[in-house]
Amino acid sequence: MSQPIAVDGPRILVALDFPDAQAALALVEQLDPARCRLKVGKELFVAAGPVFVRQLIDQGYDVFLDLKFHDIPNTVASACRAAAELGVWMVNVHALGGSKMMRAAREALAEFPNRPLLIAVTVLTSHDAESLAEIGLQEAPAAAVARLARLVDASGLDGVVCSAREAALLREQRGPDFKLVCPGIRPSGAVQDDQSRITTPADAIDLGVDYMVIGRPITRATDPLAALAKIEKEIGKRGKA
């Protein structure tokens, strides 16, 4: 077991996968910005928009705006600038947009004194070797992840979204400062839902993960704060850092 990667503030990013602001707020009101950060993805952003994101930030939450930008460099750079103006803590793009696009995003954020972290999705966890071959990537998903993570790093981004199972290799290849943001986390004893490759919070820490994206184990719990506390306890066993 290597030393846990140190992070400032909470490691847990609660995925607000809700259809509207009202449903999301009903959960957020039970949480605490000192104990978790929030992830707003496409569904909630399309339904509730930047005004809602601003509301979360005003309540003291760090927000990861998970819109996975993938477009021509100028468009992605402008979208990242708009996210920074909104005041989000983290924003992401698709590594498959290429180094020119990622560099343009990085440069757009450089003008902000307190810029958001900029990370990239390498290969979605929903892909397998067959679906990658279909889009012209003739390599195993893990090899594609490692190759794209190298490009992300060389483009000056802060890190990647990846499966915790890829974390140990990426940590070894990319060093201690490269952020690893991992979904597919399930506390011991929790239901798997539709996640096929899951990792416990404690194992994720051992594998070198910085941040864990956790949705249903918290959002669908009868007592979300108690569910969060249980995960914190599991992480605590490995050193909270």
Ligand X SMILES: O=C(O)c1cc(=O)[nH]c(=O)n1[C@@H]1O[C@H](COP(=O)(O)O)[C@@H](O)[C@H]1O
- Active-site residues, by number, are 66, 68, 71
Q: How far apart are CA 92 and CA 94, in angstroms?
A: 7
In terms of CB distance, is 62 or 66 closer to ligand X? 66
Is 71 annotated in some ligand binding site? yes
Q: Which stretch binds ligand X (CB under 6 A): 70-78, 151-159, 166-174, 213-221?
A: 213-221
Interface segment toward ligand X; rule CB under 6 A; list 94-102, 150-158, 211-219, 223-231:
211-219
CB 109 within 8 A of CB 82: no
- Interface with ligand X, residue 124, by CB under 6 A: yes
Residues 199, 11: Cα–Cα separation, whole Å: 15
Q: Which of 63, 88, 146, 161 binds ligand X (CB under 6 A)?
A: 161
3-state secondary structure of 59: coil
Instruction: Write the CB contacts of 44 (distance below 8 Å, at least 6 apart in sequence).
Output: 16, 17, 18, 19, 20, 21, 24, 52
Asked if 208 and 168 count as a contact pair (C-beta separation under 8 A), the reply is yes
- Report the distance separating Cα 134 and Cα 131, nearest Å: 5
Q: Is 236 annotated as a binding residue?
A: no
Residue 182: helix, strand or coil by DSSP? strand
Known binding residue 125? Answer is: yes
Q: Is 215 annotated as a binding residue?
A: yes
Instruction: Give the CB-nearest residue to ligand X.
Output: 215
Note whether 128 binds ligand X by CB under 6 A: no
Q: Kindly state the smallest distance separating residue 191's Cβ from ligand X, in Å.
A: 10
Residue 195, interface with ligand X (CB under 6 A)? yes
Helix axes 99-110, 141-154, angle to 10 degrees: 40
62 marked as part of a ligand binding site: no
Binding site for ligand X (CB under 6 A): 15, 17, 41, 66, 124-125, 161, 183-184, 193, 195, 213-216
Question: What residues are designated binding site for substrate?
Answer: 17, 39, 66-75, 125, 186, 195, 215-216
